[in-house]
Each structure stands twice: as structure tokens, then as C-alpha cells.
Amino acid sequence: MKIGIFADAQECASVASEIIIDLFADDPTSVLGVATGSTPEPTYQMLRQAHQAGRFSLAKGQAFALDEYVGIPSDHPERYRNMLLRNLVENDATGLLDENLHTPDSEHPDPQVAAAEYEAKIAAIGGVSLQILGIGTDGHIGFNEPGTSLTEVTHVDYLMEQTRIDNARFFDHQIDQVPTQCITQGLGTIMSAKRILLLATGKQKAEAVKEICEGSVSAFWPGSILQMHRQATVLLDEDAASHLQLADYYRQRWALQQG
Ligand code: PGA
């Protein structure tokens, strides 16, 4: 795991966006795994700016979402497909075409079938080149809540109460408006991405960051599985890094690695 610690969320986003821009400069047909939630939004904004400046394009690429709510109306602004359309597709945001943005089918009459189809679609394209991730305060990545199998594939699951509390801010602070069910890439699916880029910012993430980076690999803190990935990079702001025991060493090593 490479761990980079930066002054603030903007600096994390700047580093993340340059990694993604380099990837698509090397291979414009790459497959980007896209996370939702608020953490990646500054990165998406920088990708849009780079697209406007002619330095970046997803026109030949594909994007796969990590997860989607089940039972959310198709026109709901918090439906993850809609969030990703706004950030990456609409008004030629990044060049990504609507048909090349793939999200689990939350309206499928049988969500289990939708989950299996989504897993097959990721496999058929040859897997994700680089997966962007956020982290939940309970350590989830995607919607893989504590106790999920560490090798699970895309599946239907239920949100923890803590996650629904955390996400209520997107639903007018009404927890009963937050869906209870989701389709999510499993930890096994996420681990099959060639490269992982996890972003975490803010004090509220400090405990989860400490556990996934320095704790034991355990289904109790699902993001800890990333310790088993050969190409996982974790980008943190000072607040999210504030519980790390070896923060100084990570800073030195990052500087040497960039060096
Ligand atoms: P956030 O969510 O980026 O909105 O904090 C992260 C997550 O739940 O994975």
C-alpha cells in the first residue's frame, strides 16, 4: 500500500486526477472504476477542467460504478447513475459517453440477477484498469459493510444504520428516505481491479483509515483487504491521516517514491 498524506482535500484531488490523466494518456481505452459520495467530487471537477483544457478525455474509455441503491426512483438526483452522469457525462463533462457509463440496474425486477449481470459485464470487458474508492466511517468500500466476505463478487446487500445516518445528508437529513438495499461490487470484484486509488478526507474518516491501513486484515474493517492488493494507493488529507501511527514514515517514503 502506498500512502500519500497531503494538506487538504484539494491537494489529494490534484494528485488523484493527475494519476488518472496519466493512465488515459497511456491508454485512452482504459476502464475507470468510479466511486460516488462526496469524496471524489473534487477529483471529478479537476478531470472536467483537464478535459476542457484538452489534457484529458474519457471519449474512448469506459466507466463502471462501484454500487447503486436499489429501489430509488430513476429520476432521483441521488441515484448514483444520475450523480455520475452529472459529474462525468452531461455537457461533455469529460468526453465519457452515456452508453459507456455502466451502473448496476437498480430497476431490474430481480436485483440478484442485476448483480450477476453486472459482475459478468465487468469480467467481459477484462476488468477495471483503475478503481477510485472512498471509505465509509465504518470502513466499507463500495457498499461492502462490516462482515461481508473478503472474496465476495457483485451482490445485493443491506446498508448499515451508520451508513444510512452518514448518507442522510444527501436526502434532506431524512434517514427514512435513504434506501436500505443496494447492489455493490464485492470485495473480490474490487480487488480484481489492476490498480486501486482510495481517497479519504476529513477527521470523521481517521479511525477507518487507521484500521484499514495499520490494522489487521479483517471483514470487520472491509477496506483492510486493500493491504492484499499489489497496486493500491491511499491518498489522505492531514485530518484523515491523523490517527496513523507511522504517518511520518509514509510521508518520507512517498517523497522518495516520487523522487
Ligand atoms: P463520502 O462516502 O465520500 O460521501 O464520505 C464515502 C463512502 O461511503 O464510501
pLDDT tens digit at each of 259 positions of the chain: 999 999 999 999 999 999 999 999 999 999 999 999 999 999 999 999 999 999 999 999 999 999 999 999 999 999 999 999 999 999 999 999 999 999 999 899 999 999 999 999 999 999 999 999 999 999 999 999 999 999 999 999 999 999 999 999 999 999 999 999 999 999 999 999 999 999 999 999 999 999 999 999 999 999 999 999 999 999 999 999 999 999 999 999 999 998 7
For 177-193, give one letter per residue: b (16+ CB within 10 A) or e: ebbeebbbbbbbbbbbb
Decide: 235 and 4 in contact? Cβ < 8 Å: yes
Please tell me the residue having the least CA distance from ligand 1 atom 2: 37
Q: Indicate the burial class of 29 (C-beta count within 10 angstroms; 0-12, 13-18, 19 or more).
A: exposed
Cα of 182 from ligand 1 centre, angstroms = 15
Mutate to test the pocket of ligand 1, among 34, 36, 44 (most ligand atoms within 8 A of CB): 36
**Where does the chain show beta strands of DSSP type E?**
2-6, 31-34, 62-65, 67-70, 101-102, 130-133, 155-158, 181-184, 195-200, 232-237
39 Cα to the center of ligand 1, angstroms: 6
Counting atoms of ligand 1 from 1, which one is nearest the CA of 135? Answer: 9
CA of 259 to the centre of ligand 1 (A): 31
pTM for the model: 0.97
Query: Alpha-carbon torsion 250, 228, 188, 64, what sign?
Result: positive
- The closest residue, in CA terms, to atom 1 on ligand 1 is 37
Q: Going edge to edge, which strands form the sheet with 195-200?
A: 2-6, 232-237, 195-200, 130-133, 31-34, 62-65, 101-102
Q: How far apart (Å, rounded) are the C-alpha atoms in residues 75 and 54?
A: 31
